[in-house]
């Protein structure tokens, strides 16, 4: 990691090497877990698609159930993919020394917020503004 200081709010202490290491370790662990989950999800989805939902020889309830299961698996996979991208992005920001800096206004996101959700890219003000849209 570069020798730059990570962004902190005025009422916070600077990031320590131990805190940075802890966040990096958590993100790297999440990255590994998400990759395994995505692989398993891809296999599950492939099995569901292979079995098909055309209804040949199945009653309507079976067809509906398979369709719902497929849709749920696709939604789960999409969520896992998004989380994986956010995790990779957070690790990249850590590497570049921009971790903790809001992507919209450039202000510090806040250590407590990042400790709770290490993938955060927006400060609370910008996040609230985004959610109101």
pTM: 0.78
Write out the two tokens for 7.
Answer: 């962004």
Residues 7-38 pLDDT 10s: 899 999 999 999 999 999 999 999 999 999 99
Does residue 54 have a pLDDT over 90?
A: no
Q: Are residues 65 and 115 in the same domain?
A: no
The residue range of the domain holding 113 is 100-132
Does residue 121 have a pLDDT over 60?
A: yes
Residue 120: count of CB within 10 angstroms of its CB? 20
Residues 6 or more apart in contact with residue 49 via CB below 8 angstroms = 70
Considering its fold, how many domains does the chain have in total? 2
More confident: 127 or 53: 127
In a domain, 5, yes or no: no
Residue whose pair of structure tokens reads 């806040």 in the numeric block: 110
Q: Are residues 92 and 126 in the same domain?
A: no
In a domain, 1, yes or no: no
Q: What pLDDT score was predicted for residue 24?
A: 95
Q: Are residues 110 and 86 in the same domain?
A: no
Does residue 2 have a pLDDT over 60?
A: no
In a domain, 10, yes or no: no
**CA distance readout (Å), 78 to 18, 74, 105:** 33, 6, 28
Q: What pLDDT score was predicted for residue 79?
A: 92
Residues 58-98 pLDDT 10s: 676 766 777 787 788 888 888 999 999 999 999 999 999 99
Buried b (16+ CB within 10 A) or exposed e, 46-85: eebeeeebeeeeeeeeeeeebeeebeebeeebeebeebbe
């Amino acid at each position: 990691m570069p020798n730059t200081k990570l962004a902190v709010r005025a009422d916070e202490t600077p990031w320590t090497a131990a805190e940075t290491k802890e966040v990096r370790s958590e993100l790297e662990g999440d990255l590994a877990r998400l990759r395994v989950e995505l692989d398993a999800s891809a296999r599950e989805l492939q099995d569901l698609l292979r079995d098909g939902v055309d209804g040949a020889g199945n009653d309507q309830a079976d067809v509906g159930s398979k369709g719902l299961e497929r849709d749920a698996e696709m939604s789960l996979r999409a969520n896992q993919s998004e989380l994986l991208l956010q995790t990779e992005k957070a690790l990249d920001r850590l590497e570049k020394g921009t971790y903790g800096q809001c992507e919209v206004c450039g202000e510090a996101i806040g250590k407590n917020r990042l400790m709770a959700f290490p993938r955060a890219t927006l400060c609370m003000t910008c996040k609230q503004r985004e959610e109101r849209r």
